Amino acid sequence: MTTRIPIVEKILSANDRLALENNLKFDAAGVFAINIMASPGAGKTSLIEQTIKALGNRIRIGMINGDIATSFDADRASAAGAIAIQINTGGDCHLDAVMLQSALQQLELDKLDLVIVENVGNLVCPAEFKLGTHKNILVASIPEGDDKPYKYPGMYRGVDAVVINKMDLLPYVSFRTDFFKNGIETLNPGVEQFELSCKTGEGLSKWLDWVLVNIEKHGQDQKSTY
């Protein structure tokens, strides 16, 4: 039993080393990178699609999609105007830094400003595997229920921003926004939160501003290190 623990630690530290390499690669190319995580059906791809449609004429966007099978989501990102790469994990329920590294070899990073990684739909292990992106985003949605921060604390604790999607469904489902937000606040005090609907477009502009401000900030931070 006890021999399992060191093995897991070894795998994770190997992953962290590769994540750092990915991070340096993004920085060398001047690319800001975000990792989008959520349960299946929360609206990761819809958020990415709306982001590409809204910002695609101002910045150059690459998208890397991780799914167990199919390329449906990469196809949607590509149709919206991004350069999209598909990773099929063949059963793995999360992306890791090795998978991202091989996907990055297929992208001309020098020609991009933003890379959006869509992780495999799962509220457990994606939080355990660093990829080397600059910000981790969690997309939650109203129909999933207001208890999710309490049930999946690991996911809510580690992220830089929480997007609460499908706000247009609030009148139709029982969802206590205060209860939900208190859960987030306890686990991750002061974390950035966005209430929006990818379907109606309500609330999207605040999210888009945050993305743009962070791309700008990342560029400035890099210049200041020279």
CA distance 194 to 126: 21
Among 29, 59, 125, 208, binds Zn ion (CB under 5 A): 125
- Of 93 and 191, which CB lies nearer to Zn ion in the complex structure? 93
CB of 92 to Zn ion, least distance (A): 6
Residue 45 partner contact from Zn ion, Mg ion, none using kind-dependent CB cut-offs of 5 to 8 Å: Mg ion
CA distance 222 to 29: 10
Task: Note whether 73 binds Mg ion by CB under 5 A.
Answer: yes
Task: Note whether 197 binds Mg ion by CB under 5 A.
Answer: no
Binding mask 149-188 for Zn ion (x = CB under 5 A): ----------------------------------------
Task: Note whether 98 binds Zn ion by CB under 5 A.
Answer: no
Footprint of Mg ion (CB under 5 A)? 44-45, 73
Footprint of Zn ion (CB under 5 A)? 93-94, 125
